[in-house]
Amino acid sequence: MASILKKDLPEGKRALDQWKATALQAADGKVSGGNAGNNAGGHADDAASPDALPRRVWAMAVRYSLFLMEHKAPGEGVEVRVAPWGAIKILDGPASDPHNLTPPDVIELEPDVWLNLVCGLTTWAEEKAAGHITAVGERDDLSDLLPLV
């Protein structure tokens, strides 16, 4: 299952690089006191926040990072869903049930959580403890595969 078209790979790489640079800049601003009291949460009205990036940048960053994960851990045993921009199947294991096409292990994440993990800005354990990851099945921990960049 392709998460990104081959012709879009360069744009996807640029988008992921842009997202990561913006997220690091926003994190640095929080650490050094930037926007303290006004917008310390890095919301959409903060120009240095990834939330302020265009929707296409988010979509391409997610799709490209899913492509990277597909190539790092090929297989059909775990479905990783990052709605609304993509879903992939990775890791060896039992394939999809022929009746519903969903593998026994499913992981769902919001785009910001996924990209934070991909870029190494947070860890699987942190995001799981915060309740930001929905994972069902025996292989519900991708911490050995992350970060990707």
Number of domains in the chain: 1
The pTM of the full predicted model, rounded to 2 decimals, is: 0.85
Does a structural domain hold residue 52? Answer: yes
141 in a structural domain: no
Establish if 143 belongs to a structural domain.
Answer: no
Tokens of 69: 């994960």
Domain span at 25: 8-136
Percent of the chain with pLDDT over 90: 68
Q: Which two tokens stand for residue 81?
A: 């869903």
Q: Which residue reads 């059909």 in tokens?
A: 76
Residue type, 7: K
Identity of residue 16: L
CA gap 69, 67 in Å, rounded:
5
Q: What is the mean pLDDT of each successive set of 10 residues along the chain, which is 149 residues long?
A: 88 98 90 47 59 96 98 93 95 70 84 98 97 90 96
Contact by Cβ (8 Å): 22, 42? no
**Is residue 44 situated within a structural domain?**
yes
Phi, psi (rounded to 5 degrees) for 129 = -65, -30
Condensed to tens digits (0 to 9), the pLDDT of residues 91-111 reads 987 666 666 666 778 999 999
Spatial distance between the Cα atoms of 69 and 80, rounded to a whole number of angstroms: 10
Within a domain: 54: yes
Residue 84 counted as domain residue: yes
Task: Give the CATH number, domain containing residue 109.
Answer: 3.30.1050.40
Q: Is residue 50 part of a domain?
A: yes
Report how far residue 65's alpha carbon sits from residue 7's, in angstroms, rounded to the nearest whole number. 15
Domain presence at residue 22? yes
